[in-house]
Chain A
Amino acid sequence: MKTVTKAAIAGVAGVTLLLGGAGTLAFWTDTQAGSEVTIATGNLDLGVPADGSGWALQQNAADLPADTAEALSVPYIAQLLVPGDTLTKTVNIPIVLTGENNRARLDVTAANATGALDDVLSAEILTINGTPVTTPADGTATVTFTTAQVAALTGGNVPVTYRVAFDWAADNTTKLATTTFQANYTLTQVPENS
């Protein structure tokens, strides 16, 4: 390559570099920043369950007339239970669910008793937010809420009613036994379109 050619190439390269370097070759310029957008996330929260109406004790034996079985109940104050007794309770579950596309599933698990009362005490969810539900075999009843539904809740609470029943056919091995019953609640986000 000739010397002249080399020089021409070097010159063109130099000019190009000069033009490409910011601020190194004067042009009129102006800059603006777009308006800021603040992004805030929503929330999904379960509060501490509150014992609403407390436990109600009823005798719901198999051969008890239907019109008396549910009508007669007394507050449960740790009376000793006998076969045929049922304990019913409504618990208020505080729920916070915010966010345009937030949607959550509330799982209520009424755990069965263990020990001597394992086979004779059964727990079931009766209603969630006033809607009758059927407790499946795994003991977990489920209801899904939208933010709008949660916003419409009275006091932000979901009332959950469940019942523990002492089998009328329980035998003498269930006398003088003790067990502890506890329900568990889980709120889990689900896709908006689910």
Chain B
Amino acid sequence: MHQLTRRAAPEAGWAARVARLFSRQPYVVAAGALLVGMLVINAPGTYALWNDTQAGSPVTIQTGNLAVTISAPVVGAVAMAAAPAGVVVRAGSLGMVPGVQAETLTYTVTNTGTAGVPAKLSFVTHGHRDAAASAAWTAIQPRLTATVSATGTGAVALPTAGITTTDAPIATFTSAVIIQPGATANIVFTFSLPASGGTPATDWPRLLQQYRAGNGVSVGSLLQLHPVVTLTQVPRHV
């Protein structure tokens, strides 16, 4: 009978054990109260202080863009020297005429960024030669002068000796050219051959003419160059 009463009594639960602990240990109760009081004092907002909060008006910040475009090359010509007697250069002709006219390829680079930021121009010239014209290339390359310039800079010689039939970088051009937003700069490649010379003496115009006749293609296909352009932001007020 006694055992049955103990099993049925609610004091067997956890609540009863806590109640018995507090009833027998007044110090436990006091410590608990102290802990609760400390928590109340330190909890944010529960220890009353006057306060007020305001949020400033938001501002939306949007970043811009720096972008570059490069045109297709425009073929042109510049005179090297007066044509010798018996040589007639047709007015308006393009392409190389050894000793008389140099061929130019002009790329126009435009700063198309939306952020209105100036940028410095740099580019890497890639090039390869025509695989079918190895013999002509071997003969012509040592006499070929190839230069590149950007607007406002002097021409820089391009090393053509190492050019292979696989397109690869051949020279890096880091200029001080600053292109303002929306403005352009030109990259100009110039190719020229002397009228004659070399050891043994070679008739370059004749060789070039033979190359052209033999390949049935333009001089431009003998060597192909193209720039890979990079614009790098510079401070606005520079």
Contact = CB atoms under 8 A, between A and B. Distances in A.
Contacts of B60: 78, 178-181
B50 A188 contact: yes
B66 interface: yes
B115 A82 contact: yes
Contact of B51 (A47, A63, A83, A189): A189
Interface string B49-78: 111111111111111111000000000000
B47 to A, nearest CB: 11
Contacts of A180: 58-61
A121 B233 CA distance: 18
A79 interface: yes
B52 A82 contact: no
Given A79-B116, A182-B55, A64 B235 contact: yes
A84 interface: yes
B57 A187 contact: no
A119 interface: no
Interface stretch (A19-27, A32-40, A132-140, A169-177): A169-177
Contacts of B115: 79-82
A44 interface: yes
A184 B65 CA distance: 30
**Contact residues on B (Cβ < 8 Å of other chain), bracket:** 20 to 34
B59 A55 contact: yes
A84 B52 CA distance: 35
A164 B63 CA distance: 13
A189 to B, nearest CB: 4
A102 B235 CA distance: 49
Given A59-B237, A80-B114, A84-B235, A121 B61 contact: yes
Contact of A185 (B56, B61, B116): B56
B236 A44 contact: no
Contacts of B57: 49, 51, 182
Interface in A130-159: none
A46 B61 contact: no
B117 interface: yes
A81 B61 contact: yes
B56 A91 contact: yes
A185 B52 CA distance: 8
B238 interface: yes
Report which residue of A47, A81, A102 has the largest number of chain B beta carbons within 10 angstroms of its beta carbon: A81
A184 B56 contact: yes
Nearest to A81: B63
A65 B64 CA distance: 23
A72 interface: yes
A128 interface: no
Given A59-B235, A181-B58, A187 B63 contact: no
Contacts of A121: 61
A189 B50 contact: yes
Nearest to A189: B50
B55 A176 contact: no
Given A80-B116, A182-B55, A187-B52, A72 B237 contact: yes
Contacts of B114: 80, 176
Contacts of A61: 234-236
Contact of A189 (B49, B55, B59, B66): B49
15 contacts: A46-B53, A59-B236, A59-B237, A61-B236, A64-B235, A79-B116, A82-B236, A83-B233, A104-B50, A175-B63, A178-B61, A180-B60, A184-B53, A189-B51, A190-B49
Given A82-B63, A176-B64, A189-B51, 20 more contacts: A47-B54, A64-B237, A64-B238, A69-B237, A78-B60, A79-B64, A80-B114, A80-B116, A81-B63, A87-B59, A166-B63, A176-B62, A176-B63, A176-B114, A178-B62, A179-B61, A180-B58, A185-B53, A185-B55, A187-B52
Interface of B: 49-66, 114-117, 233-238
